[in-house]
Amino acid sequence: MEITFTRTSERTYTTVLVRDDGVVIHVPSFDRPAWLPHDLAHYVVEHALALTHGFWACVAAGAVFPGMKVISGHQPPRAVARSQAIIKAAGQHGTEAEVLVGILVEITRQELDTNWLVASARLAEAWRASPPARDTLSADEMQHVCTALRDIQRQWQALAIGQSITVTWSYNRSRHQSAARSRRQAGSSFSGG
């Protein structure tokens, strides 16, 4: 699945994705980012931590969340039922991914990743599903995510109005593992992992 984030003004953007089945979907953006688009932060965190029940893993598997619009392509038979089943299966782990993205963006923006004691306390305070979708983050994992967030944030800030960042999400349903690679359409690359 290819996801393209296009900067439309200093604080607005559009997100369009092309799923592996050829369906093209517009993802609404509700934030007005001064730092980094929320859905792009989701991509970085979910990719770096190989989250299998996060937003992008669900979308790659066929979920169409409220507000998303199919632009072109043909949805497979029973697409609505499949989407609902994927969203239901993600359940509290999808919410857990949302909380994890929020806390990791906060840690990155406040540069708390240089102080594991403070950062680990923030991570411990964050809500976790019961049972959690994954083990608690290690210092190395947190540092990896924070570095990836800073890298993509610098690339985002360097974009001119109308330029895009395109990332690729690969989803292996048989093993429930995700991996991703990305490239910036303007030529430089983001290495999230």
Give the least confident one: 20-29, 32-41, 89-98, 174-183.
174-183
The three state secondary structure string of 38-55 is HHHHHHHHHHHCCCCCCH
Please check whether residue 192 lies inside any domain of the structure.
no
Q: Which residue has the higher pLDDT, 94 or 162?
A: 162
Please check whether residue 189 lies inside any domain of the structure.
no
| CA dist., res. 31 & res. 150, Å (int) | 19
Please check whether residue 193 lies inside any domain of the structure.
no
Please check whether residue 70 lies inside any domain of the structure.
yes
Question: Residue 184: its pLDDT value, please?
Answer: 35
| Each residue's pLDDT tens digit, 171-188 | 554 333 333 333 334 333
Q: Provide the domain limits for residue 134.
A: 2-184
User: Exposure string (b/e) for 30-39, b if CB count within 10 Å is 16 or more?
Assistant: eeebeebbbb
Please check whether residue 54 lies inside any domain of the structure.
yes
Please check whether residue 191 lies inside any domain of the structure.
no
The tally of domains found in the chain comes to: 1
**Model pTM above 0.75:** yes
| CA dist., res. 64 & res. 11, Å (int) | 25
Please check whether residue 56 lies inside any domain of the structure.
yes
Please check whether residue 190 lies inside any domain of the structure.
no
